[in-house]
């Protein structure tokens, strides 16, 4: 492979569809469970709080109980946000140009986890390694960026790509070996 060629690695369409369906199911279940947990915790806090308020118990107990209602409310709000999420894999997994390695933005399935931003790494400080499948873990292509004293990693499942992982290794190593 020539070092000045641009390689665009895409996700396999069939695998991408399966992953997106699985993610939708998991996101929905997580949202429902957060709503149920928030409702149950709210009831566990609210019932004693109402009983204490009607019995004329100290106001400090009512304030503490009211503060404890924040946790169930947060769970309910996060559960509602989770139900609205529609995570999708990007069409392109990675693009290797003569000067850089481009990663697309990836939306995570959790309402708490931030989205992975699109990144551009310099090619000369980026290495790639393919970890073959072993046990329950699927094979993956792991990119590592050595920038000064810092080390960053991004990985892609090798079985979800439309090309063999060796093509990615050859494209990145070209004449720019780290």
pLDDT, tens digit, 9 for 90 and up, residues 117-173: 999 998 888 889 988 877 666 788 999 987 777 888 998 888 888 988 888 888 887
Counting residues of the chain whose pLDDT is more than 70, the rounded percentage is 93
Residue 176 has pLDDT above 60, yes or no: no
94 strand-pairing partners? 9
Q: What is the DSSP string of 15-80?
A: HHHHHHHHHHHHHHHHHHHHHHHHHHHHHHHHHHHHHHHHHT--HHHHHHHHHHTHHHHHHHHHHH
Which residue ranges make up each domain of the chain? 7-12+88-173, 26-84
The pLDDT-based confidence of 65 (bands split at 50, 70, 90) is: confident
Give the residue-averaged pLDDT of 9-20. Answer: 90
Residue 32 has pLDDT above 90, yes or no: yes
Residue 6 has pLDDT above 70, yes or no: yes
Give the residue-averaged pLDDT of 85-94. Answer: 89
User: How many CB atoms within 10 Å of residue 85?
Assistant: 17
pTM: 0.73
Could you tell me if 114 and 105 are in contact, meaning their C-beta atoms sit under 8 angstroms apart? no
According to the model, what pLDDT value does residue 178 have? 40
33-59: per-residue pLDDT in tens?
A: 999 999 999 998 888 877 777 787 777
């Amino acid at each position: 492979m020539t070092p000045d060629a641009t390689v665009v690695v895409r996700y396999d369409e069939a695998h991408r569809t399966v992953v997106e369906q699985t993610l939708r199911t998991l996101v929905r279940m997580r949202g429902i469970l957060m709503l149920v947990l928030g409702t149950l915790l709210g009831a566990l806090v609210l019932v004693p709080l109402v009983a204490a308020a009607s019995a004329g118990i100290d106001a400090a107990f009512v304030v503490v109980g009211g503060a404890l209602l924040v946790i169930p409310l947060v769970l309910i709000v996060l559960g509602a946000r989770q139900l609205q999420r529609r995570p999708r894999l990007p069409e392109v997994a990675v693009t290797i140009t003569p000067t850089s390695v481009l990663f697309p933005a990836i939306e995570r399935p959790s309402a708490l986890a931030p989205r992975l931003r699109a990144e551009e790494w310099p090619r000369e400080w980026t290495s790639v390694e393919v970890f073959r499948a072993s046990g329950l873990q699927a094979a993956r292509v792991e990119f590592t960026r050595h920038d000064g004293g810092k080390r960053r990693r991004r990985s892609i499942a090798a079985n979800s790509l439309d090309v063999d992982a060796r093509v990615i290794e050859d494209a990145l190593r070209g004449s720019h070996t780290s």
